[in-house]
Chain A
Amino acid sequence: MVTPAVSNPAPSLLDRLVLPTSGAWANDARKGALARFREMGFPGRRDEYWRFAGGDDFAAPEPEEAPILDMQGEAPVFTGLERLKFSFRDGRFEGTMPDLPEGLEVSRLADAGQADLHWARDLYGVLEAAGQSPVARPFAALNTAFAPDGLLIRITGKVALPLNLIYCHDDPRSDAMLHHVLRLEPGAELTLLENGPAAARLNTVLEVDVAEGACFHHVRTQGRDHGRRAVTHVFARLGQESVFKSFTLTVNGTHTRNETVIEFAGEGGVAHVAGAAMGDGRMGSFIHDDTVFITHGAPGCESRQVYKKVLLNGAVGIFQGKILVREGAQKTDGYQKSQALLLDEDSTFLAKPELEIYADDVACSHGSTSGGIDEEALFYLRSRGVPAAEAQDLLVLAFLSDAMDEIEDAAITEDITSRLEAWLARRRG
């Protein structure tokens, strides 16, 4: 099949990308992904799940420049936590691996991909490929084909310390692709933290296989690097009685699209996904897109989506969330909430909540709202002596707290909340 992107004589990102040299297993996976991508092509505005913002930011042959973020002496998030640190600069692992506790195996894709055989063969690009149906995710296939680096992580026990992937970039035009694979063996437990500005343009895939009885927590912050363009993908497969929780905080960014694709493959699984995004279009465009697809393929599973966006000065928030309940997935409990707080009349929230249900004994609900600040609450706070700007920020934090509360670890919630408070206070000046 010839895609418009290929038939178009204009330069394409595809011409610029080079398949990394790989050993047998990775080579097969990459070639398969490239074939998948060629079938799909780059998305256009006519594609149902790209009609709000388009994919040009991620498909352009060269990324737009993104200034390096000046942290102004502020310590990065998670600094106060004891954790295992893995650093990436401009999309490449750097430094040395920390000493790993028992129950944890970590290798670099850049190294392990050279081998003839690796355990990740059963997952790398496999969960991504499964997640391409019924909705195509072309940038994820592109990532599987071309991502030069990432971590392959196998967890066989309960790992007490969180793993922290810390990103930074030095090159204002860096164009990074990272592909991480996690395999939680039965009964294993892990917390994964991600933070830092990874690149001017970023495309990530995180494939997570949570085996029966295993438990995975994920907390991610997408920071204040305003020029960022990022398309991220999480593909998760959940075994029987497993738990998957993922929270993302997003502040600024020119265009961020976070895709989450979850499939319940065993009974009694639990998946909670949440996002809090705050966008101020004052410094340029802000588009934030949460696209979620949860497939209940087994009975008795619980899914919960909580997405909150605070938008001002022409910021655009997008939510595309779907719950698909397959035939036989009885006793499904699906919940979806997407809300936007519009702080002015210039901002836009576009929401597309979807339920598709083929079982007859399920409880599924969704709610999507957008509205302004509660004037009654604002006056109440001001009448108690809280200045208007501070009162508004307090209400903004209150609005986001529903999503923050989805974070399992109270210390992390507090850390992230205090970051947001500081960010809001700095904006007030």
Chain B
Amino acid sequence: MLEIKGLKVKLEAEDKEILKGVDLEVPAGAVHAIMGPNGSGKSTLSYVLAGREGYEVTAGSATLDGQDLLDMAPEERAAAGLFLAFQYPVEIPGVGNMTFLRTAVNSQRKLRGEEELSAAEFLKLVRTEARKLRIDADMLKRPVNVGFSGGEKKRNEILQMAMLQPKMCILDETDSGLDVDAMKLVAEGVNGLRDAGRSFLVITHYQRLLDHIKPDVVHIMAAGRIVRTGGPELALEVEHNGYGDILSEVA
């Protein structure tokens, strides 16, 4: 599904290399987690994959089902099935959440050459998905993320994911700012979307999210590289011993 090879990326503004050769492969239907200390390049990786400006790829490749992601505009990556759940979802005053969702769903359909959803079809879909995430009518009416609590913003990200039905979902520190109940709700939403044709890359600092979204593979990232890869037990190891042991091992 997602294949990253030797990816090197620097910040355009500072001429500073952040990713120093990342290799990663997430097969269809798999859930992979990336853990790592602050500044290891986890969020940069997610932004580069989603197509945010300000980064320069100096080497390597990233493909989604064989398509070159790095050559596509952000909207084309989305239409191809990539979804990034933001660590800090953006507030957009003046744009209603519902309008935003409908525009996003139909834009992707249009880019893929599919028929747009009718107002009725869309409404039915959004109501069903919103209910699962306990998102009420008021949250759908309000401007995108404006005045939402941390938990509401993250639930809104998962709602977008559910509506857009991407095949490759990247969750960037979705657990940050969530209390235990909100984290359970978000995890339920994600788990409900797991299937054989959909893959997840879960980026997190802490093991606790991985209690709820069980990964098949855990990667440890440090200083712009994947330094270790293992099973779910690797997350537990980090939880008990911190990153220090692993990092000194590979240093």
Contact = CB atoms under 8 A, between A and B. Distances in A.
B103 A382 contact: no
A416 to B, nearest CB: 15
Given A382-B75, A388-B73, A398 B104 contact: no
Contacts of A374: 92
Contact residues of A: prevailing secondary structure: helix
A5 interface: no
A49 to B, nearest CB: 31
Interface size class of A (residues with CB under 8 A): 20 to 34
B50 interface: yes
A14 B111 CA distance: 59
A376 interface: yes
Contacts of A386: 75, 103-104, 107
A386 B86 CA distance: 16
Contact of B78 (A385, A398, A399): A385
Contact of B74 (A377, A383, A395): A383
Contacts of B160: 384
Interface string A368-386: 0000001111011111111
A379 B75 CA distance: 9
A385 B111 contact: yes
Contact of B95 (A375, A379, A385, A398): A398
Contacts of B51: 379, 382-383
A397 interface: yes
A380 B92 CA distance: 9
Contact of B75 (A375, A377, A388, A394): A388
Given A385-B108, A385-B164, A380 B89 contact: yes
A328 interface: no
B102 to A, nearest CB: 11
B90 interface: yes
Interface in A374-429: 374-377, 379-388, 390-391, 394-395, 397-402
A215 to B, nearest CB: 27
A394 B100 CA distance: 9
B52 interface: yes
Contact of A395 (B89, B92, B99): B92
B53 interface: yes
A247 B86 CA distance: 38
Contact of B107 (A377, A387, A401): A387
Given A385-B79, A386-B107, 12 more contacts: A375-B53, A382-B78, A383-B52, A384-B75, A384-B108, A384-B160, A385-B75, A385-B108, A386-B75, A394-B99, A398-B95, A400-B94
Interface of A: 374-377, 379-388, 390-391, 394-395, 397-402
For the complex of A and B, 5 pairs with smallest distance between CB atoms: A398-B94, A385-B108, A385-B78, A384-B104, A382-B74
12 contacts: A379-B52, A380-B89, A381-B92, A385-B78, A388-B75, A390-B107, A395-B95, A398-B92, A398-B94, A398-B143, A399-B94, A400-B94
Interface of B: 50-53, 73-75, 77-79, 83-84, 86, 89-95, 99-100, 103-105, 107-108, 111, 143, 160, 164
